[in-house]
A and B are shown apart, each in its own frame.
Chain A
Amino acid sequence: MNIASILATKGDKVITIRAEQTIHEALGVLAQHNIGALVVVDAGLRPVGILSERDIVRAAARDEKVFPLLVSQLMTRDLIFGEPGDDLGAVGHTMVERRIRHLPVVAAGKLVGMVSIGDVVKAQRDQYQGEVDTLQTIVMERGH
C-alpha cells in the first residue's frame, strides 16, 4: 500500500495558506477546518513550508503579540514531501522517527494532498485486519 491509497479517500482538500498572510489569518483557517497544520504555498501555489499549531504555540509562549506576524516568519521550511507511490511502511517509519505528524504529498512538483500519521496508522491497521479477516473466513468456511 502506498500514499495514493490514502489520498483516494480524502477528496482533494489540502488546506493551504500563503506565506505572506498573517498568523491571525492562519489561526482562523486552522479553527475553521478544525485541523492542526497548514501547508504554506508561494504565489505559484508551490509548497514552501508547513505551519503547525505547535509553531504558533512556541512563538506565543515567547511573545504574546503573535497575531500580526507573517506565516513565513513561523513556518517550518525544512520540509519532507511524500510522493503518491511511497510505501506506507517506509512513510510511517520516517514520520515516527522524525516526529512528523503531517506529510504534504507532491506529484510532479504540485501539492496533491496531505497525510497525517493517523491516516498512515489506520491504513496499515486496516491492511493487517483485512489479511486476518480473509484467513479467518477461509478457515471457518472450510469447516462447514
Chain B
Amino acid sequence: MRLGTAERPLRVAVVGAGPAGFYVAEHLLSRPDLVAAIDMFDRLPTPFGLVRAGVAPDHQKIKAVTAAFDKVAAHPRFRFFGGVELGKDVSPDDLRGYYHQIVYATGAQTDRRMGVPGEDLPGSHPATEFVAWYNGHPDYRDCQFDLSQERVAVVGVGNVAVDVARILLRTPAELARTDIAEHAREALRHSRVREVHLLGRRGPAQAAFTNPEIKELGELEAADVVVVPEEVELDPLSRAALEKAGDRAGARKVEILQSYARRGQEGKPRRLVLRFLVSPVAVLDNGAGAVGGIRLARNRLIASATGALQAQATAQLEELPVGLVFRSVGYRGLPLSGVPFDDRWGVVLNDKGRVLDPDTKQPLTGEYTAGWIKRGPTGVIGTNKPDAVETVAGMLEDLAAGLTQAPSEPDPAAAERFVRQRRPDLVTYADWRRLDALEVAQGQARGCPRVKFTRVEEMLAALGRRDDAWRPE
C-alpha cells in the first residue's frame, strides 16, 4: 500500500513549534494528494517560538499570526507534544523508530558575540537574553539586569536592537497595554534608564531597521530621538547605491532620520540616541569590575568587489560612558545532538532543506530542516513560508521516490505511548489552549492582552498536574 494515503499516513515529526515548524505542518496537511500525520515537539510547554518569546510585547498585531497556527493545530492529524526536548527526552534515533520523516525547525537560540575585550563584564548582556526575559521565556525568568543605570548602549540597529531600546524607554503606562512579563513590567517600573544609545556599524542607508520601526521610535511618549546630523548625511557611495537600485524605501529611511536631526528635542525626560558608523572595540571596566563604558571606533564605508557597502574602522576613537551594554549583532543556531551541523553558518548542514551527511555530502534519508536553523537568522515571520515550501518540496520528492525512513512503529498511538513514557507531563495542544485561556483571562482583568505564565511549574500546576512530575535540571 502506498505511503501517504488514508490507510498508510506519512508520519512526520516536526521538532520546534515556531513559525517554521507550523508552516511546514500547514503545507504537508493542506496537500490534497497526501495524507500526512504530524507530531510537533517543543522543549517548552508553550508553542509559537519567537512569536511568543521574541516579538516585542508592544507589537501585538504581529502576534495575531498565531491564529493561523491555531488553525493548523486544529487539524485532526496534528498533535503537539510540548515540554519534550530533543537530545534530552528523545533522541533523533528514537524518532526514527516512529516517523517516516523528521523536520528540525528549532530556530537560532544564541546570540553572536562582538568579539571585543570586556564583553563578559557584569552589565554586558546579549540582547536576546533581555528579550527572552521581558517576554517571559521560562529559561530567562531569573535573569538580572541592572536597570539602576542611567545610560545604556545597545550594539546593533536590527529589529532586536530597536525592540530593546523601545522597551527600555517606554513608560509604565505604555507597557501596561502590552503582554510584557509581570517580572519585567515590575523591574522596568523602577528603571532609572534615561538614555539609550543605539549603535550602528554602517550608515543610515544600510541599517536593517524598517521605516515603520524608525517612525515608531519617534512617537515614544517619554523619549526624544537624538541623531548626530553628520552621521545621517548620505555619503556618495550610499547615495549612488540607493539611486542605482531605485531603493525608495531606503531613501525614505534616510529622510526620516534626517528629519529627526532637524526636529531637535522636545524636552521629554528620556533620550534615544541613534548613532551610525561606529563599532565597539572594547567594553570598559568601571574600576569595580563591571561595565563603565564602551569604546567605539568611527567607521567609514567602503565598497566591496560586488558593490556591497561595508564598514571599515578608522583610527578615530571615542568613549561612551554607559553602565549597561546589550549586544544585538545577530542570532546563531545551536547544534542539535545527533544532527549534522555547519559551524560556519550556524545551521543544520543542508541542501535546500535536506539534511546532509557531513562525510558524503549526500542527503540523509528522511531528515529535513526548516526556518532559521536551516538558513540562518534572516527575514520576517512570513519568510518561513517560502522556506517551508522548499523543504516540503524535497520531502514530497523523496516520498515519491520511496526515500523515507522505515519506522518499526508507525502507529500514532505507539509514538504517543513512547513520548508519554519519557515525559509523563507532556503538554498537548488542548492543554496549551487552556493555558492560553487562563493567560488571556488574567490579562482581561488587568486591561492588557494577557498575563504570561513564566515558569514551567506554574503552567503544570495550572493544568492540575502534580508539581513533582516535572523534573527541573
* B353-A90 in contact (CB<8A): no
Interface mask (A4-21 → B, CB under 8 Å = 1, otherwise 0): 110111111100000000
For the complex, what is the distance from the CA of A81 to the CA of B385, rounded to whole Å? 31
Contact of A87 with B378 at beta-carbon distance under 8 Å, contacts A11-B361, A126-B386, A141-B67 already known = no
Interface footprint category on A: 35 or more
Nearest Cβ distance between residue A3 and chain B, in whole angstroms? Answer: 8
Chain A stretch 88-144: residues in CB contact (< 8 A) with chain B: 89-91, 93-95, 103, 112, 125-127, 129-138, 140-142, 144
* B65-A134 in contact (CB<8A): yes
A66 sits at the interface (CB 8 A) = no
Chain A stretch 54-111: residues in CB contact (< 8 A) with chain B: 80-83, 85-87, 89-91, 93-95, 103
Contacts of A136 in B (CB 8 A): 382
Instruction: Give the most central of A7, A86, A91, A141: most B CB within 10 Å.
Output: A141
A45 sits at the interface (CB 8 A) = no
Interface footprint category on B: 35 or more
For the complex, what is the distance from the CA of A138 to the CA of B350, rounded to whole Å? 31
Stretch at the interface among B239-247, B290-298, B445-453, B456-464: B239-247
A35 sits at the interface (CB 8 A) = no
B101 sits at the interface (CB 8 A) = no
Chain B stretch 41-80: residues in CB contact (< 8 A) with chain A: 61-62, 64-65, 67-68
Contacts of A83 in B (CB 8 A): 304-306, 308, 310
For the complex, what is the distance from the CA of A129 to the CA of B439, rounded to whole Å? 33
Q: Taking CB as reference atom, which chain A residue is nearest B19?
A: A134
* A9-B351 in contact (CB<8A): yes
For the complex, what is the distance from the CA of A80 to the CA of B303, rounded to whole Å? 13
* B385-A8 in contact (CB<8A): no
B374 sits at the interface (CB 8 A) = yes
* A11-B350 in contact (CB<8A): yes
Q: Taking CB as reference atom, which chain B residue is nearest A1?
A: B378
* A82-B306 in contact (CB<8A): yes
For the complex, what is the distance from the CA of A66 to the CA of B390, rounded to whole Å? 40
Contact of A1 among B307, B352, B379 (CB under 8 A): B379
* A130-B385 in contact (CB<8A): yes
Interface residues of A (CB under 8 A from B): 1-2, 4-5, 7-13, 80-83, 85-87, 89-91, 93-95, 103, 112, 125-127, 129-138, 140-142, 144
List 15 other contacts, CB 8 Å, given A129-B383, A130-B386.
A1-B378, A8-B345, A12-B342, A83-B306, A89-B247, A90-B306, A90-B309, A93-B244, A126-B379, A126-B386, A127-B378, A131-B380, A133-B385, A140-B68, A141-B67
